[in-house]
Structure 1
Amino acid sequence: MKSGSQTIDEPLREEIISRPDMILDDRDLMQALIAANERAMGGNIVDLRGIAMERLEARLERLEDTHRSVIAAAYENLAGTNQIHRAVLRMLDPVEFEPFLHDLRGEVADILRVDSVRLVLESGQTEDDPAVRKLGDVLSVAEPGFVEAYVTEGRNIPLRQVTLRQLSEGDPEIHGNKAAWMRSEACLTLDFGTGRLPGLLVLGSEDPHLFTPQQGTDLLGFFAGVFERAMRRWLS
């Protein structure tokens, strides 16, 4: 070596020569070497290979971000599926109607992580009923047409099985004394069969991001289908 030039310790030099992959696999170290090479070449030389490597690195970072997002979404979907399955199994346990509705407000609501649950049944006879009063914290009876009006908010749009929306506050008629705290809700329309008026199951949450229009509805659609079939046993 010429006098004044920098040298590398011999053991380190031998280690690098014997295991160059240590350098190649270290992104920060490779970037430092490339930067040093560019400085040595001066500002008048364009290093096309270096530019290409920078672009490849940027693409790799984007791919890694996408990969992480896909994995996170897959885990979230799996967790949501398990959550719905647990809620369905708990919902099918009771053999009497009153425990069925109490579980809906209690353990099923806890599994789904919702803060409000209301089952609305349309009926041609909406006079005060002792059974309805007894279950008034989860069950209410409404006039025909209420379900469509509530879900569509009076707009001329198709009535879907699952409607997800964010709220400034909930409807006291549905969420009771919790209405002021509701920030999102899922409206599940229920078909009880030919000749029967529809029903509505409303799940409310204080979390504005729990139910949003951008989310998929397949899992809640499955839950609604199981729920309406379970209800047919009690309505028969």
Structure 2
Amino acid sequence: MSTTPLMDTSVRDRIIADPDLLLEDQDIMRALVAANEKTMGGNIVDLRGIAMERLESRLDRLEDTHRSVIAAAYENLAGTNQVHRAILRLMDATRFETFLRDLAGDVADTLRVDVMRLVLESEGDGDDPAIRQLGEVLSVGGPGFCDTYITHGRDIPVRAVTLRQVQNHGAEVYGDKSDYVRSEACLKLDLGAGRLPGMLVMGSEDPHLFTPQQGTDLLTFFGGVFERSMRRWLAAGV
């Protein structure tokens, strides 16, 4: 066997000085294992090579899982920050009209939804000048409207938060914007003893922004803060 180096001297010296470089490069290690298998012939089973392949496959799966967990953690953190910023914006309002207009403006933008509506149930006809003035954010329905809207009239339990994909739906809530709403979140509101319930509805053009498979913890928290704020405004006689 010739002792003359067949490899470029600089490359050979680099490998000898730091052999870990080879061990950490998966492509090079595969090539070396494949070359070793060729020298053994076709009638020999390399159990070590098979074990390496299985370990590599398992490592790849673990790395994919790790990346998915990290991505989900960042997504949850981003969602938490969004909700916190939206709540702080709601708390800035000093007048009820400002509170509602911020809801359809800065709060909706912070939560990255295309339209947001507050629905209140009322015994009256809802033809109040103040209500008409706030028609871009406030809708009024009769008793039982919120439950009917959330359940589509079906006899099923009403959850605090309902997420779903929709199409050609909600004209009585969204008005002329209902044509492009493709998913929505419905937050049932308890406005206190002696008052009819309400509902906060968020609509999005993105059909995947709100789906039934998603968690609702953050929106449940947001709805809880919002309904408590509404109770204070209503108690103040707005």
Q: Could you say which TM-score interval applies, normalised by the shorter chain?
A: over 0.9
Residue type of the alignment partner of 1:138: V
Q: Does the 8 Å contact 2:126/2:141 carry over to 1?
A: no
Residue type of the alignment partner of 1:120: V
2:216 alignment counterpart: 217
1:49 alignment counterpart: 48
Gap regions ≥5 residues in structure 2: none
Equivalence map 1:13-28=2 (5 Å): 13-28=12-27
1:232 alignment counterpart: 231
- Calculate the TM-score normalised by the size of structure 2: 0.94
1:185 alignment counterpart: 184
Secondary structure at the residue paired with 2:215? coil
Displacement of 1:128 in angstroms is 1.1
Displacement of 1:142 in angstroms is 0.8
1:169 alignment counterpart: 168
- Calculate the TM-score normalised by the size of structure 1: 0.95
Displacement of 1:6 in angstroms is 8.0
Gap regions ≥5 residues in structure 1: none
Displacement of 1:214 in angstroms is 0.8
Q: Structure 1 CA distance, aligned partners of 2:10 and 2:233?
A: 82
Equivalence map 1:99-114=2 (5 Å): 99-114=98-113
Residue type of the alignment partner of 2:212: P
Q: Does the 8 Å contact 1:170/1:181 carry over to 2?
A: no
Residue type of the alignment partner of 1:39: K
1:87 alignment counterpart: 86
Q: Does the 8 Å contact 2:163/2:212 carry over to 1?
A: yes
Secondary structure at the residue paired with 1:102? helix
Deviations 1:143-198 (A, max 9, x none): 10111110011122111110000012331111111111000000000001111110
Q: Is the aligned partner of 1:121 residue 2:153?
A: no
Displacement of 1:127 in angstroms is 4.3
Residue type of the alignment partner of 1:174: V
Residue type of the alignment partner of 2:18: R
Residue type of the alignment partner of 2:44: I
Q: Structure 2 CA distance, aligned partners of 1:108 and 1:94?
A: 11
Deviations 1:35-55 (A, max 9, x none): 111111122111111000000
- Evaluate the alpha carbon distance shift between residue 2 and residue 189 of structure 1 in structure 2; reply closer, same or farther with a 3 A threshold: same
Q: How many aligned positions are there?
A: 235
Moved more, 165-174 or 50-59: 165-174
Displacement of 1:2 in angstroms is 4.5
Q: Is the aligned partner of 1:140 residue 2:148?
A: no
Residue type of the alignment partner of 1:197: L
Secondary structure at the residue paired with 1:170? coil
1:156 alignment counterpart: 155
C-alpha RMSD of the superposition = 1.6
Residue type of the alignment partner of 1:113: R
1:78 alignment counterpart: 77
